[in-house]
Amino acid sequence: MTTTIGLEIHVQLATRTKMFCGCSTTFGDEPNTHVCPVCLGLPGALPTLNAEAVHLAITLAMALGCEVHEVSEFSRKNYFYPDLPKSYQITQFDRPIATVGSVPIVTERGARSIRLTRAHIEEDAGKSMHVADITLGGETLVDFNRCGMPLIEIVTEPDMQSGDEAYEFLRNLRRLVRWLGVSSGDMEKGAMRCDVNVSVSPDPALRGTKVEIKNLNSFRSVKRAIDYEEQRQAQCLGGGTSIVSETRHFDEVQGTTTVMRSKEASNDYRYFPEPDLPLLQLDSTELESLRAQMPELPWEMQSRFERDLGLSPYDAALLTEERSTAEFFQQTIALYNNPKKAASYMGTEVARLLNERGKTLSETQLTPAALAGLLTMVENNTISNTASKDVLPLLVDTGVTPAEAVKNLGLEQVSDASAIKDYACEVIAENATQVEQFKSGKEAVLGFLVGQLMKKSKGKANPKLAGEVLRTLLKS
């Protein structure tokens, strides 16, 4: 059996106001407090295009390698639903703002590129809330705060073949939208939603009948829904039942899909050009300047870290998950020229501390200069690697410099040969038996003597230097 998967992803653009009116996009406020005649669809109210939403949509489309069209058009998608007061949604139909493009993914099957069909701008609908409370009569209520929120819809080609690939695609897309500041990518708050098309066919050369699963709101749900649907369709086909083209709902608790409705053909929506908005015309110089401002993309930076800095795939992925972390790392290695050590320290000691504190890097007092300073002190043997683990929490919590922290904790390693010589003389005087053993050729005893010296210095002596000084004294 061959499985074919395509995705449709709605990404909410991070603007301050809605797509066609000045209402706030703040999430979680009292229902129906961010509404006006435009987003409520009152007669005579006219839409005004939000330029910031267009700007964010173009930025994302460019990063996805799309062809951004200088002229695109808004259309009305007509349907009746209680959460859609105008009885039509303003979207883009046959002339979207962007077409083609791709997203790279890496799964167990290796590195692949998932092609995109198109990306278009549209407005969101309101939100129906089904109230189970009997005192409210088990009614359905509608919150129009979400109505008119700016979205970009991204449609992929049917290029994925497993739930894992879809999961990886979404993970990488979310990393990109957050990286660019185009969207929070927060699926729990509905800022990223996904519809899935799955078809299974016994013949790899033929595409099976497409089944759509609507409104999945976590990456895990997407993967679970695909895994279930793959199995269900294969079972149907195996038992001689044909697959019906339909829209299904994923039940989070049962882990199964159930029929929602049979599939509407796209002409049911009676699309026609939106008469209240002009054609969307983009300025070619403005497009060029947006292209010039495009930052290095997360997957580009990830491969560069592996290729040019020699980082492990794990460290490179970890450091490019968030743009702020990647920038922190780059500033650190500008001051401390050992990328592999810096990456591994950030991935272990720093990551563990952030985890303990439940904070992100930018929520702490740690600066790239402080981390570079700390790593340099370890490198120069000013402090031991073990001691650095006591210093780090101070840098993270209080923002003192590494030198201040080392001084406060009394951790400075003694690398002064004359101070070490004093300790060594004491150790030799107090351990006559071991000294005799060493002189008669039992070299291993040196380890014991170094240990005694370390104890005397309260662990602060540079162990390598201590060994050298003792050896010289004993041989003289």
Sites of contact with Zn ion (CB under 5 A): 21, 23, 36, 38-39
CB 453 within 8 A of CB 470: yes
* Least gap, CB of 285 to Zn ion (angstroms): 32
Task: Indicate the Cα dihedral angle 404, 407, 411, 417, nearest 10°.
Answer: 120
CB of 240: closest distance to Zn ion in angstroms? Answer: 53
C-beta separation of 445 from 438 below 8 A: yes
CB of 125 to Zn ion, least distance (A): 13
* Nearest approach, Cβ of residue 269 and Zn ion (Å): 23
Of 85 and 158, CB closest to Zn ion: 85
Quote the tokens at residue 62: 């460019």
CB-nearer residue toward Zn ion: 53 or 114: 53
Closest by Cα among 311, 315, 461, 325 to 384: 461
**Tokens representing residue 392 in the block:** 């780090």
Nearer to Zn ion, 149 or 170 (CB): 149
- Least gap, CB of 147 to Zn ion (angstroms): 8
Cα–Cα distance between 391 and 404 in angstroms, integer?
Answer: 10
Q: Which is nearer to Zn ion, 32 or 384 (CB)?
A: 32
Alpha-carbon torsion, ordered 137, 140, 144, 148, to 10 deg: 180
Q: ∠ CA(9), CA(14), CA(15), 5° rounding? A: 130
Nearest distance in Å: CB 42, Zn ion:
10
The residue among 20 and 299 lying less far from Zn ion, judged by its C-beta, is 20
Kindly give the interhelix angle for 463-475 and 445-456, rounded to the nearest 10 degrees: 120
Question: What is the nearest approach in angstroms of Zn ion to the Cβ of residue 40?
Answer: 7
* CB of 19 or CB of 377, closer to Zn ion: 19
- Residue placing its CB nearer to Zn ion in the complex, 6 or 148: 148
DSSP H or E segment with residue 112: strand 110-123
Q: Are 461 and 412 in contact (CB under 8 A)?
A: no
